[in-house]
Structure 1
Amino acid sequence: MSNVVIFGLVGFVVVAAAIVPLSLLVEAMRPVPRTPERLSWAPDIPIRYVSINGVRLRYIKTGKGPVLVLLHTLRTQLDLFEKVVPELAKSFTVYAVDYPGHGYSDIPAAKYDVDYFVGTIEGFLDALNLHDLTLAGVSIGASIALILAARNNPRVSRVVAINPYDYAKGRGMARSSFLARLFVRAAEIPIIGETVMRLRRFFVMKSALDGGVSDPRHISPELLKEMYLVGNRRGHYRAFLSLLRNAETWETATKAYSNIKIPVLLLWGDRDWSRPDEREHDRQIVPGAKMATVAKGGHFLPLDRPDAVVEHLLAFQAPLVRKASS
């Protein structure tokens, strides 16, 4: 082996060894955002908290009518629904919640897999004693809703599953952009995944989220900034890393969809990360499911096409809304 090669390998090892402690220092110096007392987009809606198995979850409740629970995507928060909540609150009692490790909920040391998220939302419904409700989720939120339905949760009467995240071994986010693909692949590698997470930059997250809408202007700069800064909360990057490393469990969970016995609407954006055959797979295994596709809609459909989300929810829920108003 030549001296050049030897010196090159030594140099690589030295640089690699230096990057890990540097990433730890960068993470320690990140400013932790203050937990907001009000929603910037709806200051009149009070922010509430509830403890589920010792984990404090942030949530909101607004409106009047049949109960509608909104479940957000991975790496976002309840503010994903900022464009639809005000309109939906005219017809429903709307709840939206931050998962553990997301938004301003607690960030426990846990295995962030399907069972953990599903169990947490099941506990949330129990703690608030919600009945005869509709679960409307996006991405992993859609998958959580479908799994709860498959487990015949007695509190859930209908499901609106928007762009379910249950394909490609849970790595659909890698289809968002080139940077997202690199980020997802790096997350799978021990030590490197942690290091990359700690050295994260705004433009990487923006690239992934922009790839989830048909038009980047549909995500406000304020929401992008808040979701990025939320990632500075202590332990947040580890929770997200755990979610990515347990991503395959979302696809595995589809095996239970055939047990669903309640009405289901599968709602897709035509520019979602999923492929036609993956969408058709869900339609075939969910008994009696209705399916609709929204034009010019990406993965984050409530931001991209809030009008269509509201329209489909109202149409799907029309019998319940009429009953409540009569």
Structure 2
Amino acid sequence: MESVEDVQYLVVHGYRRAFRISGSGPALLLLHGLACDSSTWLDVIPTLSEHFTVIAPDLLGHGESDKPDADYSLGGYANGMRDLLTVLGIDKVTVVGHSFGGGVAMQFAYQFPDRTERVVLVSTGGLGKEVTPLIRFLTVPGSSAALAAATFRPWRPLVAAGMRALSRTPLTATRDLDEVARIYESLADRATRRAVQRVTSHVLNWKGQFVTMTDRSYLARLMPVLVVWGSDDMVIPAKHADFAPTQVSDVHVLNDAGHFPHKDHPEEFCNLVTAFIAANEPAHYHRGRWRALLRRGDQYALESVPAAVDQGVEPAIS
């Protein structure tokens, strides 16, 4: 197996997809956040690879993947992940999504429940409206030109170095600036800026997030869900964890952690994910149960579904 540091490539639908793959065992798909890439998972991949086959792609428009003028919607990303996994010969996964990647993870589970065993949401988008003004700014007319000026080469190294220096201080508000510095540097690339702004236009505007999965969260009754957040998240508030489908979710808000709890506490994060998977059998998609839940459309739907469904018999629902 390739080293976790090695990035591999596949061409799917004519676009180059970069990804890291490591380990063996049940498949674990790690999806990064907006303007990040698969390297955000480097602190946890080695440990997780001791138990799982870990696949960490650079989403289209990010990292070393191509940045075409293409579909950057949640549904498009979910389709892309399905097709990448298919080419890799992987049928089912536990999907782990951070920030925007959490929205993609939820969309993947929604579109492909037959290929999703569990869902892990890390400081996820899609559970509430609030999001940092820095991301909302990306949707404002003229923001691309402003970003181009802000990341201009003469001062870019100084700004990035300043962010990294601030990230090493004990201040809660600056803990994530090392990762922000990487994002800032990546936005100097015009194709990356265009792709990131296309992504944001699909899920939020200057007022905040307008695409959420809360109206479909009752579907999580059919699938184990783990939610992990940092108590000091300055990007998406930790209170959004309260909007997770708590009737089935295992929710952990980690102290002394920001928007990247998997980087702030990698050992604890790996322990949570490993224990969650060990404690929860993979979801098994059944069309009758899925249909019954959709028809009722609320968290009590399964209570009216005959026990025969659990034995593989579809219910007759009028």
- TM-score bracket, shorter-length normalisation: 0.7 to 0.9
Question: Structure 2 CA distance, aligned partners of 1:206 and 1:156?
Answer: 41
Q: CA deviation at 1:91?
A: 1.4
2:243 aligned with 1:281: yes
Q: Which has the higher contact order (CA 8 A, sep 6+)?
A: 1
One-letter code aligned to 2:149: L
1:262 deviates by 1.2
Match of 1:164 in 2: 124
The whole-number CA distance in structure 2 between the counterparts of 1:224 and 1:164 is 17
Question: Please, which of 9, 19, 23 is the counterpart of residue 59 of structure 1?
Answer: 19
- The residue that corresponds to 1:264 in the other structure is 225
Q: CA deviation at 1:206?
A: 7.5
Whether contact under 8 Å (2:102, 2:126) holds in the other structure is no
Name 1:188's counterpart in structure 2: 139
Residue 107 of structure 1 aligns with which residue?
A: 67
Q: Is 1:173 paired with 2:173?
A: no
State the alpha-carbon separation in 2 of the partners of residues 156 and 246 from structure 1.
24
- 5+ unaligned residues in a row in structure 2: which ranges? 282-318
- Contact 2:4–2:22 under 8 Å retained in 1: no
> What amino acid is the match of 1:131?
D
Contact 1:151 1:259 in 2 (8 A): no
The match for 1:244 among 200, 221, 227 is: 200
The offset of 1:239, in angstroms, is 0.9
What aligned pairs does 1:216-227 form with structure 2 within 5 A after superposition? 216=174, 227=183
Query: Number of residues paired by the alignment?
Result: 265
Question: Quick one: distance in 1 between partners of 2:224 and 2:161?
Answer: 35
Equivalent AA in structure 2 for residue 123 of structure 1: D
Q: In 2, are the aligned partners of 1:137 and 1:160 still within 8 Å (CA)?
A: yes
Q: Provide Cα deviations, 1:48-106, integer angstroms capped at 9, x if missing partner.
A: 11222222110011112221111111111000011111111111111100011110100
Instruction: Tell me which residue corresponds to 1:22.
Output: none
Which residue is equivalent to 2:257?
A: 297
Q: In 2, Cα distance between the equivalents of 1:76 and 1:255?
A: 27
Q: 2: distance between equivalents of 1:155 and 1:110?
A: 24
Conserved? CA contact 1:215–1:304, under 8 Å: no
Q: CA deviation at 1:238?
A: 0.9
Q: Structure 1 length normalisation: TM-score?
A: 0.71
CA deviation map 1:260-304 (0-9, x unaligned)? 3111111111112444552211234xx512211111111112211
1:137 aligns with 2:137: no
- My pick for the range that moved more, 270-279 or 85-94, is 270-279
- Pair member with larger Rg: 1
Q: Tell me the distance in 1 between the aligned counterparts of 2:90 and 2:139.
A: 38
Structure 2 equivalent of residue 116 of structure 1: 76
Measure the CA separation in 1 of the matches of 2:269 and 2:9. 26
Unaligned stretches of 5+ residues in structure 1: 1-41, 175-179, 322-326
Q: How far has the Cα of 1:226 moved from its partner?
A: 5.4
Relative to 1, partners in 2 of residues 1:225 and 1:166: Cα closer, same or farther, differing over 3 Å? Answer: closer
Q: Indicate the structure with greater helix content.
A: 1
1:197 is matched with 147
* Matched-pair identity in %: 24
- Give 1:230's aligned residue: 186
CA distance in 1, matches of 2:190, 2:270: 35
> Is contact 2:147–2:187 with CA below 8 Å preserved after alignment?
no
> Matches of 1:281 and 1:320 in 2, distance apart?
21
Distance in 2 between the 1:250 and 1:136 partners?
22
Return the alpha-carbon distance in structure 2 between the equivalents of residues 305 and 198 of structure 1.
Answer: 33
Letter in 1 for 2:70: A
Secondary structure in 1 matching 2:253: strand
Aligned partners of 2:243, 2:259: CA distance in 1, in Å? 18
RMSD over aligned Cα atoms: 3.2
Of the three residues 59, 65, 72, the one matched with 2:32 is 72
1-structure distance, mates of 2:199, 2:56: 20
| Aligned counterparts, 1:4-83, within 5 A | 45-83=5-43
